[in-house]
C-alpha cells in the first residue's frame, strides 16, 4: 500500500502522510484489552508521532529503526506506510509479551521488514516478574545497527539508576551520526514554576534536587520526572548530544501543543 500520492510535493510530505495514516481504516488496531500503554485516539496519536519522527527527527524511509517500548504498535503501525520495504526496516522491543504476540501476528505477516521481540525487562508497572534487571540492560541488538532509535513514554517510567544504562546501550546500537528521539518529563525551573502554579495533572512535587521525582512513591515507575541537567549529562556521557532545540510539553502546566518533552539526540560521527 502506498502511503502518499506520488505527486505530493516534498514540502507537503509530513502533513500528507500523517493525514493519510490517521484516516486509513485498513491499518490494524489492537483489541481494547491490549491497550495497556497510553490513552487517546490510537490512530491519531500514532500519526502525530510519525510526523515528529520525520519532521523533527529526520527519519528517512530507508532507515534501520529500533523502537524500545513498542507496546501494541501504536507508533509502529504508521511506520509501515513510511519505511521502504526494500531498504528500511523496523525492530520493536517490549516487556509485555501479549503486545509483542499481537504485533507479530497483525503486522509482521503483512510487513516482513517489521519484527517484534519480547524483552523480559523488569518493570513494576508493565512486567513486575521480569527476569532482566533494567540497571544492567543489554539490548539484543548488534552494535552500530540502527540509523534511528526512538522511545516514547519509556523514560517517563524509568528510575534514575536505569537512565545511564539505557543511554549507553542506545549509543552502542546506533550508527555514527544516528539519531535517538526520546520523550521525558524534564524538571527545570520553568517546569517547577508551572507545577507550583497548580498546572500539573500529575502529583509531582516541585521541590527537591532530584535527579528523579516520583508522582506516586507507592508505584515508583508509574510516572517519573528527571532533572534536565541529569538527562543531558547521562546521554552526553554515552556520546549522545542534542541535535536541535528541546521541545517542551504541557505535562507540567506550561503552554504547549505536545504533552511530554522531546529531545532528539545524535551520535557524533568519529
pTM score, two decimals?
Answer: 0.92
Find the CATH number of the domain harbouring 218. 3.40.50.150
Residue 16, CA distances (Å) to 7, 200, 218, 232 in order:
11, 33, 44, 33
The verdict on residue 8 lying in a domain is no
Q: In this structure, how many other beta carbons lie within 10 angstroms of the beta carbon of residue 33?
A: 7
Answer yes or no: is pLDDT of 4 > 80: no
* Mean residue pLDDT across the chain: 91
pLDDT tens column, 196-240: 999 999 999 989 999 999 999 988 999 999 999 999 999 999 999
Please report whether residue 199 resides in a domain: yes
The pLDDT value given to residue 32:
81
More confident residue, 85 or 40: 85
Task: Assess if residue 139 is contained within a domain.
Answer: yes
Whether residue 180 lies inside any domain: the answer is: yes
What 3-state DSSP class applies to 242? strand
Q: Own/partner pairs for 127-134, CB < 8 Å, 24+ apart?
A: 127/95, 127/96, 130/95, 134/158, 134/159, 134/162, 134/165, 134/166
The total number of structural domains in the chain stands at 1
pLDDT band at 25 (very low <50, low <70, confident <90, very high): confident
SS3 (DSSP) at 147: strand
What grid cell was written down for 117? Answer: 521481540
At 77, the pLDDT band (50, 70, 90 cuts) reads very high
Tens-place pLDDT, residues 81-135: 999 999 999 999 999 999 999 999 999 999 999 999 999 999 888 888 989 999 9
In a domain, 10, yes or no: no
Query: Residues 84, 79, 246, 162: is their CA dihedral positive or negative?
Result: negative
Quick check: is 20 in a domain? Answer: no
Residue 106's domain comprises 25-267
Over 50: is that where the pLDDT of 11 sits? no
Amino acid at each position: 500500500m502506498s502511503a502518499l500520492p506520488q505527486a505530493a510535493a516534498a514540502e507537503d510530505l509530513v502533513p500528507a502522510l500523517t493525514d493519510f495514516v490517521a484516516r486509513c481504516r485498513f491499518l490494524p488496531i489492537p483489541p481494547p484489552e491490549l491497550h495497556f500503554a497510553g490513552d487517546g485516539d490510537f490512530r491519531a496519536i500514532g500519526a502525530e508521532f510519525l510526523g515528529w519522527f520525520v519532521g523533527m527527527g529526520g527519519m528517512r524511509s530507508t532507515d534501520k529503526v529500533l523502537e524500545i517500548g513498542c507496546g501494541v504498535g501504536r507508533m509502529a503501525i504508521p511506520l509501515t506506510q513510511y519505511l521502504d520495504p526494500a531498504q528500511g526496516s523496523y525492530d520493536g522491543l517490549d516487556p509485555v509479551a501479549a503486545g509483542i504476540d499481537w504485533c507479530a501476528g497483525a503486522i509482521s505477516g503483512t510487513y516482513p521488514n517489521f519484527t517484534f521481540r519480547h524483552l523480559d525487562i523488569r518493570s513494576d508497572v508493565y512486567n513486575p516478574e521480569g527476569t532482566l534487571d533494567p540497571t544492567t540492560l543489554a539490548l539484543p541488538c548488534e552494535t552500530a545497527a540502527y540509523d534511528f532509535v526512538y522511545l516514547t513514554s519509556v523514560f517517563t517510567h524509568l528510575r534514575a539508576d536505569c537512565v545511564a544504562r539505557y543511554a549507553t546501550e542506545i549509543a552502542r546500537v546506533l550508527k555514527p551520526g544516528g539519531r535517538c528521539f526520546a520523550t521525558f518529563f524534564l524538571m527545570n525551573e520553568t517546569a517547577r514554576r508551572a507545577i507550583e502554579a497548580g498546572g500539573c495533572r500529575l502529583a509531582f512535587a516541585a521541590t527537591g534536587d532530584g535527579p528523579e521525582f516520583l508522582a506516586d512513591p507507592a508505584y515508583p515507575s508509574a510516572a517519573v520526572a528527571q532533572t534536565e541537567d541529569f538527562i543531558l549529562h547521562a546521554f552526553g556521557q554515552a556520546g549522545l548530544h542534542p541535535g536541535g532545540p528541546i521541545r517542551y510539553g504541557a505535562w507540567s502546566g506550561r503552554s504547549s501543543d505536545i504533552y511530554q518533552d522531546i529531545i532528539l539526540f545524535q551520535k557524533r560521527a568519529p
